[in-house]
Amino acid sequence: MWVPSRRRAFAHLVPHRFTLPAEDVEVYRGGRVTTLERAALDALAGMRRADADRLLAWLLTRQVITRDGLEGRLARHPRMWGNQQLRELLADTASGALSAAERLLHRLLVAAGITGWRANVAIRDGRGIIGAPDVLFPAERVVIEVDGRAFHGAERFQHDRERRNRLVLAGYVVLNFTWQDLTARPEAVVAQVRAALASGAGRGGAGRGGPGRGAGDPGSGTRGSG
């Protein structure tokens, strides 16, 4: 909680007091508040790490903040409270992975020498953006989605099924792996990915739809660096 004076904080809230630069303040309904980006960055800096991981994924996928914004915060305020956690979050998302499961998948692909993939690149169809899958092989039109360890409920399950159907109709092969797959059966995961890529190459990448703007050269991908 950010407070303008020495007033006593509410129960369970810890005040942090420092001067805010003008660019981090805006007026909302007649009151001066921090900008959405600044509030998000401060929250990430002070939350428990597991909560910060989940919030960062939510913020990045909805473009509330960007990794460039996170880097800018660290450059402008190198000694600010909470920066160590922000640096760790920045390092963990360097490959484009937004969760521990995605990072593990990336490491498996790199270790297996599988290249040509992109992380969290938007795919579109005639209705608009389908989503930004965890891993996309643009040339072979193969998508990999990782189911996290947490249960997300019926609404999320329904959304995921609808998204998968749209991807299939747009001409993509979709592979789904669980945390258990990645940790207990990594060889099987790699084998299935190779088989899907071979199938996609045989089909010549045919299909409708495609990566959204900013996807870059579909043939370049992430060349073994994850």
Q: pLDDT digit string (tens) for 140-167?
A: 999 999 986 554 567 767 878 888 999 9
In angstroms, the CA 149 to CA 184 distance is 14
In angstroms, the CA 42 to CA 105 distance is 29
The highest-confidence range among 64-68, 128-132, 148-152, 194-198, by mean pLDDT, is 194-198
Taking 50 as the threshold, does the pLDDT of residue 213 lie above it? no
Q: Does this model's pTM top 0.85?
A: no
Instruction: Name the segment(s) of the chain with CATH classification 3.40.960.10.
Output: 100-211
Task: Name residue 49's amino acid.
Answer: R
CATH fold for the domain made of 100-211: Endonuclease; Chain A (3.40.960)
Which pLDDT score is estimated for 215?
Answer: 35
| Averaged pLDDT for residues 164-188 | 94
Average pLDDT, the chain: 80
Instruction: Please answer whether residues 99 and 146 qualify as being in contact, where contact means their C-beta atoms are separated by less than 8 angstroms.
Output: yes
Packing angle of the helix pair 83-92, 36-46 (nearest 10 deg):
90
